[in-house]
């Protein structure tokens, strides 16, 4: 498979793994991230290009920058996201604004910006949601709500833009290592896996596992797949206790 892909949040964790996997499969990749150093390092590693900026900034347009650098787009992987460790009562107005702007509004804005490019090429959009968007997680309630919104956004756009030949899908990763290491508020060690209970398959999901699912969903084997939120969680959601951290609710 070859094509031109933008990956937001591509400089670390799941996003970096997706960049590496797509490049290995022949894609030309624009690695988007807030850090020029980290995005540049991944881009240099895979022979891609770096797109630097904050997705929360309405004036930053990673889609236009990626399309200009690559000569167009065939895929937009909208992976950038943030998380706050708080229940609903503890999620303040500033946290809500931050979560909504990055996890929902920026995703919609960038999907809309990519629409003309993808309609011209019969391309696809892949959003990173979460297993927390499939069932509620009270300990990260605001994040859970916004990832549910991502899933509904994905379904609505799949229905609206399908006639234009644009496929829209989402990934729903479970506990993943390495995961969100730079945009986590309230965690002692962002991205740490200590204390996680093993899922039914016995091992924590790795970022490369999620990247493999991403490569499938944006590739030709998924040509008739749209409107799907794919769980990649090693069976966590098949178990009523598999997602609990350290035995707590």
In tens, the pLDDT along 105-125 reads 999 999 999 999 999 999 999
Q: How far apart are CA 208 and CA 227, in angstroms?
A: 23
Q: What value does the mean pLDDT take over residues 83-90?
A: 93
Has residue 183 got a pLDDT over 70?
A: no
Query: In whole angstroms, what separates CA 220 from the centre of its chain?
Result: 20
Dig out the tokens for 148 from the structure.
């549910």
Query: In whole angstroms, what separates CA 106 from the centre of its chain?
Result: 12
Write the CA distances from 33 to 108, 117, 146, 226, integer angstroms: 17, 21, 20, 26
User: E strands, 34-164, where?
Assistant: 49-52, 75-78, 83-84, 124-128
pTM of the model: 0.91
Has residue 180 got a pLDDT over 90?
A: no
Domains, the chain, ordered by start: 4-238 (3.40.50.720)
Has residue 12 got a pLDDT over 60?
A: yes
Would you say 171 and 232 are in contact if contact means Cβ atoms under 8 Å apart? yes
- What does the pLDDT read at residue 223? 97
Would you say 96 and 145 are in contact if contact means Cβ atoms under 8 Å apart? no
If pLDDT is split at 50, 70 and 90, which confidence band does 249 have?
very low
Q: Quote the mean pLDDT of the chain.
A: 90
Write the CA distances from 195 to 28, 199, 201, integer angstroms: 38, 12, 17
Cα three-residue angle 202-15-87, rounded to 5 degrees: 70
Has residue 243 got a pLDDT over 50?
A: no
% the chain with pLDDT above 70: 88
Has residue 45 got a pLDDT over 90?
A: yes
- What does the pLDDT read at residue 248? 42
* Closest of 166, 5, 20, 22 to residue 73, by C-alpha: 5
- Enumerate the active-site residues: 143
């Amino acid at each position: 498979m070859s094509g031109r892909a933008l990956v937001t949040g591509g400089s670390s964790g799941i996003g970096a793994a997706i960049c590496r996997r797509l490049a290995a499969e022949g894609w030309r990749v624009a690695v988007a991230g807030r850090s020029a150093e980290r995005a540049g390092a991944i881009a240099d590693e895979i022979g891609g290009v770096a797109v630097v900026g904050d997705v929360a900034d309405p004036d930053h347009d990673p889609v236009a920058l990626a399309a200009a650098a690559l000569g167009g787009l065939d895929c937009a992987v909208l992976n950038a996201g943030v998380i706050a460790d708080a229940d609903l009562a503890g999620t303040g107005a500033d946290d809500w604004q931050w979560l909504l702007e990055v996890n929902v509004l920026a995703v919609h804005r960038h999907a809309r910006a990519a629409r003309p490019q993808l309609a011209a090429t019969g391309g696809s959009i892949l959003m990173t949601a979460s297993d927390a968007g499939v069932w509620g997680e009270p300990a990260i309630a605001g994040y859970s709500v916004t990832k549910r919104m991502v899933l509904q956004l994905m379904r609505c756009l799949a229905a609206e833009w399908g006639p234009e030949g644009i496929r829209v899908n989402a990934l729903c990763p479970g506990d993943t290592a390495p995961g969100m290491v730079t945009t986590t508020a309230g965690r002692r060690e962002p991205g740490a896996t200590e204390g996680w209970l093993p899922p039914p398959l016995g091992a924590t999901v790795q970022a490369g596992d999620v990247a493999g699912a991403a490569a499938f969903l944006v590739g030709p084997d998924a040509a008739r797949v749209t409107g799907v939120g794919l769980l990649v969680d090693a069976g966590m959601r098949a178990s009523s206790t598999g997602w609990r951290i350290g035995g707590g609710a």
